[in-house]
Chain A
Amino acid sequence: MQISKDKFKVVGTQLGEAERISKPSLSFWKDVFIRFRKNKLALFGLVLLGLLIFMAIFGPYMTPYDYASNDLGNKNQPPSSEHWFGTDDLGRDMFARTWEGARISIFIGVAAAVIDLIIGVFWGGIAGYKGGRTDEGMMRFADILYGVPYLLLVILLMVVLGQGLSTMIIAMSITGWINMSRIVRGQVLSLKNQEYVLAAKTLGANTSRIMSKHLIPNSMGPILVTMTLTIPSAIFTEAFLSFIGLGLTPPIASWGTMANDGLAAMRYYPWRLFFPAIFICLTIFAFNVVGDGLRDALDPRMRK
């Protein structure tokens, strides 16, 4: 086959052009977000979570009724245009109570996750960075504590310390931090021998600076995933404790106490169980799906 020479053109050597990176550079978190966005279920979870948090903040103001004031003339009303989610056995508006409960439940979840984060990062970070005997001792202690059944210990603490919001969060945190500390330790162990840590050491950075500026920020991914998955389990634990009679005391509305009250009246006033139950499920679902999505997005093995 003949190909005429004028179909070709000398373009010269353009080394600079070949080396140019045409794709805009992405920061690590942008990259994570792009992968996260591809996961439809996780994105749906994020939107749902946004809605739930929005309603937790503004929901109680959307109705003229207060979550704690009784109205005995209007008790056990089914959902209507007046009381959107109906009323309970003391005539309290369920819509106001549901979103007040959302505040409490989400607060408990976030507070438990933050306390786990603080203790876990300290414990795991120090154990992983110091290594040797310190690591051995600290992690053995964590192992033994980890063997103690979580819910049983929480129940025991609630019985002894008495019911209340702060005791509940404390009880959940006593063994809750161990998971976080293990993850942080693993991260720190794998990162501490990298060159940039050596470089920082050579430049005279002290331990706390290396930890706070280099090791912890680089472990942020797994830490964030663990936190996101701690929140639904704390919300579950709150509801569970309320269900076995160790929950918050009235008039505080939490989803767990509302569901517990609703259960007793389920046969005749099912909406009193239905609304808190549905929102417990939706919230746990949203956090779980977002956490899973985040984990997949952060996992480098998933990167194409």
Chain B
Amino acid sequence: MAKYIGKRLLYMILSLWMIVTATFFFMRIAPGNPFASEKKLPPEIEANLNAHFGLDKPWYAQYWEYLVRIVNWDFGPSFKYKSQTVNDLINEGFPVSFLLGMEAIFIAVAIGVILGIVAALKHNRWPDYTAMIVAVLGISVPSFIMASFLQYFLAIKMGIFPVARWESFMHSVLPAVALASTPMAFIARLTRSSMLEVLANDYIKTAKSKGLSRGVITVKHTIRNALLPVVTYMGPLTAGILTGSFVIERIFGIPGLGAHFVTSINNRDYTVIMGVTVFYSILLLVSILLVDIAYGIIDPRIKLAGGKKGE
């Protein structure tokens, strides 16, 4: 297990190093220099600015400084807004995004698992078909379309929910549901197929012949085992919620990190784009690693496989 974690950690660091390096070199080849959009600056001022941001040093020195800064959790300045750093943006926007993301994850997991369980228990009957139609719809409707439809019908037309902004719990319902719709559908499908697989096992037959009640069999023997594969989906789920937040926060006017990120893309604020990308990558890779480790702890069978893999 320790060997497995070590190996995964190494890969994670390599992937991260790759994206940090890529962002660094992309930034250098990106069209225009950071101050190009403004008025023509006197050469002295430009030299001073370059010196301030360290742009006068050779590229390898800049690269090294960049790596050191990332390791020290400093994602750099913003070239458009002189007084703001990427860290400020993250500190300001991420808590909002985190709250919204957690709400969405809760909805996706809770409803997805329930739909999947009901579908499997009523296999090939109408609850199964209904749940699977909901799932196919959830997978086919991209989150930003779901968001705009929800906003149009439930907020603008019927006025049940506020249209936009981030003020109360009611404001968070529509964005969270829109964000949750696609992962919820995946979780429902995953839960259903894994439930069906577990239900076909001999130990379920044994439990039935022992005279255990349906409820006990379902809760203790089926669901507990069937939920294991769902845990593996938590990694892609985090990724989906995170990228989904870019558009959802824009549509609902939520001042989260995703919305800031999209604004910086539209402003071509390169340093912010790079800094936030690196931050998101770290967040994502760490959460995927945590999920994998958690899975290894929950499912004792995986230890064998992990050990074999490591050899």
Contact = CB atoms under 8 A, between A and B. Distances in A.
A147 B14 contact: yes
Interface in B86-144: 136-137, 139-142, 144
A152 interface: yes
B47 interface: no
Contacts of A180: none
Interface of A: 41, 143-153, 155-157, 159-160, 162, 232, 236, 239-240, 243-246, 259, 263, 266-267, 270, 273, 277, 280-282, 284-285, 288-289
A132 to B, nearest CB: 15
Contacts of A270: 152
B142 A240 contact: yes
Contact of B265 (A145, A245, A280): A245
B187 interface: no
Contact of A147 (B11, B151, B156): B11
Interface centre among A41, A147, A239, A243 (most CB of B within 10 A): A147
B294 to A, nearest CB: 18
Given A148-B19, A243-B247, A245-B262, A263 B148 contact: yes
9 contacts: A148-B281, A151-B243, A152-B277, A156-B277, A244-B250, A245-B266, A266-B151, A281-B145, A288-B139
Interface in B188-219: none
B23 A156 contact: yes
Interface string B258-294: 0000100110101001100100110011000000000
Contact of B148 (A41, A245, A277, A288): A277
Nearest to A146: B15
B26 interface: yes
B144 A240 contact: yes
Contact of B30 (A41, A159, A277): A159
A288 B136 contact: yes
A149 B18 contact: no
A239 to B, nearest CB: 6
B310 interface: no
B45 interface: no
Contacts of A284: 139-142
B2 interface: no
Contact of A281 (B23, B142, B280): B142
A280 B284 contact: no
A162 B139 CA distance: 30
B42 interface: no
Contacts of A288: 136, 139-140
Interface string B6-30: 0000011011101100110010011
Given A149-B239, A281-B140, A284-B142, A244 B246 contact: yes
Given A153-B22, A155-B277, A156-B26, A244 B265 contact: yes
Given A144-B18, A159-B270, A266 B277 contact: no
Contacts of A277: 145, 148-149
Contact of B29 (A152, A160, A285): A160
A284 B138 CA distance: 11
B281 A149 contact: yes
A248 B84 CA distance: 30
B31 interface: yes
Contacts of B151: 266
A273 B284 CA distance: 32
Contacts of B268: 159
B152 A266 contact: yes
Contacts of B140: 232, 281-282, 284-285, 288
Contacts of B277: 152, 155-156
A263 B251 contact: yes
Contacts of A147: 11-12, 14-16, 18, 285
A143 B29 contact: no
A240 B247 contact: yes
B273 A156 contact: yes
Nearest to B151: A266
B136 to A, nearest CB: 7
B265 A239 contact: no
Contacts of B262: 244-245
Nearest to A267: B156
Nearest to B273: A159
Nearest to A157: B26
Contact of B142 (A157, A246, A280): A280
A25 B3 CA distance: 52
A221 B53 CA distance: 54
Contacts of A263: 148, 251
Interface in B219-233: none
Given A149-B280, A156-B273, A280 B145 contact: yes
Contacts of B266: 244-245
Given A160-B29, A243-B247, A285-B136, A148 B15 contact: yes
